[in-house]
Amino acid sequence: MDVNETISRRYYEYKADYEAAQLAERRGNIEGARKLYRQAAWDLCDMAELESGETRRQRILHARTIMDKAESLGKEQPASNAGRGSGSGTAAGPAKGAAMSAEASGSQDNDNPWISEGIPSTTFDDVVGMEDVKRLIRERVIDQFKYPELYAQYGLQGGTGVLLFGLPGTGKTTIARAIAHEFNAPLYTVLGSDIRSKWVGESEKMISKLFDKARSTPTALIFFDDFDDLGKKRSDDSSSVHDNKIIVELINQMDGFKKNTNTIVVLAATNRPWMIDSALMRPGRFEHHFYVPLANHEARVMLIKMKLGRAPVDPDIDMDQVSDLLAGYNGADIESVAKTAISAALRRAKAMQDRGENGTSPVTYEDFVNAAADHKSSVDPGDIALLRQYAKERGIELPEEL
């Protein structure tokens, strides 16, 4: 595995841990959330170890912020802010955490709101299933840059704002990275929750800084993950003046594109599209909407095989049966079930080696049954209904799922 691949795997892990932490936090599971946030910070540190320069610095700063968050969970808010920059990140662990936080401090003034991972190595082939969605994204978004004259000639030039919506853990973040790969352009990821919590009162400045950064290369992709956190509906409530400013700035920036000489594609992902201010959905802004479905039977089979990776697998295993076992699970769930099943097989293999026996212990159907018993699907069927209803009302293609 080359370095980029390792980094991109770590990035997936980071995303999965971070999102799981947010979920645990929302559900009031403070200790669980703390553990997952710490894990997410560690994933970032692992990435940073393989990186250099500005990317590395950003990564470490980001890890610090998440670590601070982990430590301040369940405590008073002001304490968490005071903790920033005061070395509380050392809870990440002895030597590495301390070294990382030393490297990051001293340059916090240039703190940027985005994570830049360069041109992602993830491709459309890494996005399992949802062939219709991939085809539509190619036709409506990517190809207009590959065949600009043709799209102009046929009058089908469209905007460059793309909203991906669907259940958590279905591959939205993965698709965003694959789109950037197709454009062969750098991806600047902004977590909606981050921009609001870290730059209170300054979020709109950060957005303009982000777009300036994107204008510095011929083509760039901006990706707002957890977009509902950032683009949520404006209200008259005075506490949301700040939110309104964010939306106004986003609109200004997106409408400003036409004057740009470079190409900026703006992607956003959300689990709750109805939360987003409708002004952002107009033509020229986020005008392309794609529903990212839950993996169906075939996609689950492919995901299971992919997540098993190179682990030895029982040759008699019936993947259709495993897929049926995991009906209703999202991609992230399937990934964790596969990891648990692999760990069980590895445990047996270690025991065999300890006993001086030869051979391996492959992953079996039984391992999947046990793993699935431990990890129930995190999908709420009610959410599927809400999302499908939302798509239907707007005439958005609804691929088959389940």
Within its chain, how far is the Cα of 309 from the centroid?
A: 21
What's the min distance (Å) between Cβ of 106 and Mg ion? 32
Task: Please give the residue whose beta carbon sits closest to Mg ion in the complex.
Answer: 173
Residue 394: helix, strand or coil by DSSP?
coil
Q: How many CB atoms lie within 10 A of CB 54?
A: 12
Q: Specify the residue, 64 or 172, whose C-beta has the smaller distance to ligand ADP.
A: 172
> Binding partner of residue 367 among Mg ion, ligand ADP, none, CB under 5 to 8 Å per kind?
none
Stated length of the chain: 402
* 112 DSSP assignment: -
Instruction: Give the residues lining the site for ligand ADP (CB under 6 A).
Output: 12, 15-16, 19, 126-129, 168-174, 269, 295, 303, 331-332, 335
- Are the C-beta atoms of 268 and 162 separated by less than 8 Å? yes
Smallest separation, CB 259 to ligand ADP (Å): 31
Which partner from the list ligand ADP, Mg ion, none does 48 bind, CB cut-off 5 to 8 Å by kind? none
Q: Which long-range contacts (CB under 8 A, 24 or more apart) does 25-34 make?
A: 25/73, 30/73, 30/74, 33/70, 33/73, 34/70, 34/71, 34/73, 34/74
| 231 binding partner (options ligand ADP, Mg ion, none; Cβ < 5 to 8 Å by kind) | none
Our CB check for Mg ion shows the closer of 89 and 166 to be 166
Question: For ligand ADP, which is the closer residue by CB, 189 or 361?
Answer: 189
Which candidate, 348, 378, 375, places its Cα nearest to that of 363? 348
Question: Does the footprint of Mg ion cover residue 173 (CB under 5 A)?
Answer: yes
How near is the Cβ of 18 to Mg ion at its closest, in Å?
9
User: Residues binding Mg ion: what is the number (CB under 5 A)?
Assistant: 2
Nearer to Mg ion, 80 or 170 (CB): 170
Q: Select 129 or 159, whichever has its Cβ closest to ligand ADP.
A: 129
Strand, coil or helix: what is 255? helix
Nearer to ligand ADP, 159 or 171 (CB): 171
> How far is residue 3's CA from residue 47's CA, in Å, rounded to a whole number?
9
Burial class (CB in 10 A: 0-12, 13-18, 19+), 87: middle
Nearest to 111 by CA among 61, 172, 73: 61
Cβ–Cβ contacts within 10 Å for residue 295, how many? 28
CB of 112 to ligand ADP, least distance (A): 22
Q: Would you list the DSSP string of 174-222? A: HHHHHHHHHHT--EEEEEHHHHHHHSTTTHHHHHHHHHHHHTTSSEEEE
> What is the nearest approach in angstroms of ligand ADP to the Cβ of residue 160?
20
Q: Are 62 and 14 in contact (CB under 8 A)?
A: no
243 interacts with, out of Mg ion, ligand ADP, none, CB within 5 to 8 A per kind:
none
* Closest separation in Å from C-beta 195 to ligand ADP: 17
Q: Which is nearer to Mg ion, 303 or 363 (CB)?
A: 303
Nearest approach, Cβ of 135 to ligand ADP (angstroms)? Answer: 14
Segment interacting with Mg ion (CB under 5 A) among 137-145, 171-179, 299-307, 373-381? 171-179
Interaction between residue 174 and Mg ion (CB under 5 A): no
Cβ-based nearer residue to Mg ion, 16 or 337: 16
Residue 337 contact among ligand ADP, Mg ion, none, beta carbon within 5 to 8 Å by kind: none
Q: Rule CB under 5 A: which residues touch Mg ion?
A: 172-173
